[in-house]
Amino acid sequence: MELALLDWVIVIGVLIGFLIIGLRYRKAGSKSLESFFLGGRNLPWYIAGTSMVATTFAADTPLAVTELVQKNGISGNWLWWCFLTGGILTTFFFAPLWRRAGILTELELISIRYSGKPAFWLRIAKSIYMGVFLNAMIIGWVNLAYISLLQVFFDVSFNEAIAITFFTMLIAVTYSSLSGLLGVAITDVFQFVIAMVGCIVLAIVVVNSPEIGGISNLRANLPNEYFSFFPSLQSNNVTGSNLALSVGAFLSFFAVQWWASWYPGSEPGGGGYIAQRIMSTRSEKDSVLATLFFQVAHYSIRPWPWIIVALCAVYLYGGFYAETSPELIAEFTENPRLGYVFAMKQFLPIGLKGLLLVAFIAAYLSTISTQLNWGASFVVNDFAKPLNLLNKNEVLISRIVTLLLMLIGLFVTTVISSISGVWEFILNCGAGLGMVLILRWYWWRVNAWSEITAMLAPFLGYFISLNYIEPNISIAYSNNNGTFLFTVLFTTVSWLAATYLTKPTEKSVLESFCFKVKPKGNWGEFGSSDNKLGYLFINWISAVVFVYASLFSVGYMLFGTANNILICLGLMITSGFILFRSISKNKLF
């Protein structure tokens, strides 16, 4: 598909703007590693929070939501809605701790929390595993989604799409390597606004098109199960309805996955680029507000424009609309992610095509620039620095590493074939690790061997379950997410055993950590007498209810009834009041 001159002007103009921002903040990002990777620890909460939201809005996100809606209706989004509980946990239980730790990267926490050679080599190993291997996998799946968009939108081949992706990545490398995190965060703000405006415009255009005829007609022409916010649960399998989940699968999402799995953007204990943004804020207050804003925007504000377009795509390309060609229906059935791109291509007029393409490019760039900066921070600060491989040109080396990570990510893109396969791998090979990442802040007995075991055990547990348990048990095991649950159990037993079979962290290290970070929980002789956790739990629970009520209030305004709207608004107002009172009374800030 060819773009008009106006579309190209919009696309090129915005990309030039991103490069100008990189040049504008080049000097600020060149002062030190702290300036390059944490923006000088001076970001206000609204910049840091928006940057978190922008980073989790990649080119693949609306496409993934379309696939979830096609398979399980609106309720399919519980696959990621379930992570809210852990996100709010990060807001109140971990954000202040990350900010007080005064470290440059999350892996540097290993050096101030644990002791001995196990801690040293754990930090080195995780810097390569997370900074290079895992980072390249994430970049690869984001690239695959971007390539899919380019192939459908422009009717180009895979190799041509790879070439376009390479040049787009060069833009991300240029401004992120010039300005560091400060430039990345500033561009994230613009990228998020552009991306959301584009998605909202698309939703309005598509749902009001003659083919759809508004939300009421959409509601009338699709089965009611597509509009349910909660899945239909079945005891063993999902063969009865393509919009049903087994009880075990739903409970694993809602009750286990949020605390058990390491997943980018939803790490238990607030790791990853969330921790990086937290540590970049100018105060503890900003760290909490930034993370709270992220949770509200991530779950309550962003999803509905995507969901509206996804439902329209199901109607138009899923066999419900009589005038759609059989070829297009077959293509959508085989790869439902592409339904979002089909809608872009079919309904957007001149000018809006450029706007929405820029929105996707902006979403893509915000994720890629963060992944490159985040990965480079691990390689430089947690691999090269402890091994004394750096010289005085630390920022220059960081820029070179950023470029190298781009090339590695591009190579991985050419060899992976499935976005969902990478997603499944990351979830299962981090299953059970989450509890260690949580408890290391609240329990003195967790040591380096605990984390080493929790990092390695999921690979063995996943292998055992996949190859020796699943083939010999009924289909209910896999349908109830048995592989994931077994891996969590195996990992948990393994790291607990390792904890009690090895020596605890040296007392001097624990004392120094407690003095600096002032953690609550069980710290033995080093614990603070002011160790009340009750108000944190009140904040946590009330904030979870507030965000879910906000999410469903918007949804019911679009698709529900007056009674549902009133119930959700009532819960939102009540929980919001409790949260505000708890924060004020306990002087969290």
Domain ranges of the chain: 5-233+290-417
Query: What are the residues whose beta carbons fall under 8 Å from the beta carbon of 365, sequence distance 6 or more?
Result: 18, 168, 171, 172, 187, 191
**Contact partners, residue 548, CB within 8 Å, separation at least 6:** 81, 84, 299
**Is residue 277 within 8 Å of 85, Cβ to Cβ?**
no
**How many alpha carbons fall within 13 Å on the CB side of residue 541?**
8
57 three-state secondary structure: coil
pTM for this prediction: 0.90
Structure tokens at 156: 């180009």
Q: Check: CB of residue 547 under 8 Å from CB of residue 84.
A: yes
CA distance 193 to 317: 29
> How far is residue 214 CA from its own chain's centroid?
31
Closest CA to 536 of 441, 436, 434, 440: 441
Start-to-end CA distance of the chain, whole Å, equals 53
Q: Which residues are bridge partners to 43 per DSSP?
A: 281
Helices (H), 270-334: 272-279, 284-296, 303-317, 326-334
- The two tokens of residue 43 are 């970001």
d(CA 144, CA 158) in angstroms, rounded, equals 10
Amino acid (one-letter) located at 221: N
* C-beta pairs of 2-8 under 8 Å, 24+ apart in sequence: 3/353, 3/354, 3/357, 4/350, 4/351, 4/353, 4/354, 6/350, 6/351, 6/354, 7/350, 7/351, 7/353, 7/354, 7/357, 8/354
- Residues 45 and 289 sit within 8 Å (Cβ to Cβ): yes
Using only C-alpha atoms, what is the Rg of the chain? Answer: 24
Q: Which of 196, 192, 171, 195 is nearest to 48 (CA)?
A: 192
- pLDDT for 45: 95
Report how far residue 587's alpha carbon sits from residue 589's, in angstroms, rounded to the nearest whole number.
Answer: 5
| Helix, strand, coil percent content, the chain, rounded in steps of 5 | 75, 0, 20
CA atoms of 15 and 568, how far apart (whole Å): 41
Burial of 281 (0-12, 13-18, 19+ CB in 10 A): buried
Maximum alpha-carbon separation in the chain: 73
What is the spatial distance between Cα 71 and Cα 66, in angstroms, rounded to a whole number?
Answer: 9
Specify the fold of 5-233+290-417: Sodium/glucose cotransporter (1.20.1730)
Please choose, from the candidates 222, 123, 182, 194, the residue with its C-alpha nearest in 3D space to the C-alpha of residue 455: 123
Q: For residue 240, what pLDDT is reported?
A: 39
Distance, CA of 101 to chain centre: 23
Q: List the chain pLDDT tens, one digit each, 589 residues.
A: 567 788 788 888 888 888 888 888 888 777 888 899 999 899 999 999 999 999 888 777 888 899 889 988 998 898 889 889 989 999 999 999 999 999 999 999 999 999 999 999 999 999 999 999 989 988 988 898 888 888 887 888 888 889 889 999 999 899 888 888 898 999 999 989 988 998 999 999 999 999 999 999 999 999 988 998 887 766 554 433 455 666 666 677 677 877 887 777 678 888 888 999 999 999 999 999 999 999 999 999 899 999 999 999 999 999 898 888 999 999 999 889 889 989 988 888 877 778 788 888 888 898 899 999 999 999 999 999 999 888 778 889 999 999 999 999 999 888 876 555 666 677 777 888 889 999 999 999 999 999 999 999 999 998 898 888 877 776 666 666 778 888 899 999 999 999 999 999 999 999 999 999 999 889 988 876 566 688 889 999 999 999 999 999 999 999 877 888 999 999 999 999 999 888 777 665 5
Residue 292 vs residues 34, 298, 304: alpha-carbon distances, Å:
24, 10, 19
Q: What are phi and psi of 348, to 5 degrees?
A: -85, 130
Tokens of 445: 């007995």
CA distances from residue 568 to 216, 404, 563, 576 in whole angstroms, order as listed? 21, 48, 9, 12
The Cα 524–Cα 501 span in angstroms is: 19
Per DSSP, the three-state class of 105 is coil
Give the Cα separation of 459 and 457 in Å (integer): 5
